[in-house]
Each structure stands twice: as C-alpha cells, then as structure tokens.
C-alpha cells in the first residue's frame, strides 16, 4: 500500500505550471502506478484545507537521447494536474514561487 508521500513525488516547476497556479491548477510528478482517486486523496491529505475539484493525468513517454556514440533514453514518468475548488485554500508551496 502506497502512502500519500509515495504517490506525490515532487512538484513540477515550469513557466506554464506557475502560470496555471494562479487559476488553482497545480502540477505534480506522481507515482506511475497511481490513479486519479489515489492522487486526489493524497493531495487532500498532504495539503490540509484543500479540496480537489478535478485531476488530469498525463503519461510522459521516454525520449531518446544521445551522448556521443552512446544511445539511451530518459525515464518515463507520470504527471498530474490537480484543480482545486474555488473555496479551497491555495497550496503554500506554490505561493512563494510566483
């Protein structure tokens, strides 16, 4: 059984994700085996006083990379975009970034 901290691995900090944070949409890197209901429960448990409205999940495929003559791939990962309700409290971690 995965805990909430095993499901939410880390936040995704990009220009696009910071722009969406103003609309209460937060982006996280999540465990590959996690589903939407597990992600929703984990966000509400890790960040108190938040209420999740929707969860969108994206599987990011591995990309081919080359370093000299060596070929390889980056790791595949899963991204979740979490939308909070209007009356929900914002996540403090993202507030300091904007």
How would you write the pLDDT of the chain (98 residues) with one tens digit per residue?
A: 789 999 999 999 999 999 999 999 999 999 999 999 999 999 999 999 999 999 999 999 999 999 999 999 999 999 999 999 999 988 887 776 66
Distances (CA, A) of 61 to 70, 74, 77: 20, 9, 7
73 HSE (CA, 13 A, CB side) = 7
pTM of the full structure: 0.89
Phi-psi region of 56 (alpha: psi -120 to 50; beta: other; left: phi over 0): beta
- Domains located in the chain, CATH noted: 4-88 (3.30.70.330)
Task: Output the six-digit token pair for 58.
Answer: 């994206």
- How does DSSP classify residue 85? P
């Amino acid at each position: 059984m995965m805990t909430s901290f095993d499901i939410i691995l880390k936040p995704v900090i990009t220009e696009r994700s910071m722009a969406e944070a103003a609309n209460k949409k937060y982006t996280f890197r999540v465990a590959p085996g996690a589903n939407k209901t597990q992600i929703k429960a984990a966000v509400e448990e890790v960040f108190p006083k938040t209420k999740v409205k929707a969860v969108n999940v994206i599987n990011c495929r591995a990309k081919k990379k080359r370093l000299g003559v060596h070929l390889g791939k980056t790791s595949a990962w899963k991204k979740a975009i979490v939308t909070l309700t209007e009356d929900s409290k914002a996540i403090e971690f993202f507030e300091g970034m904007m």
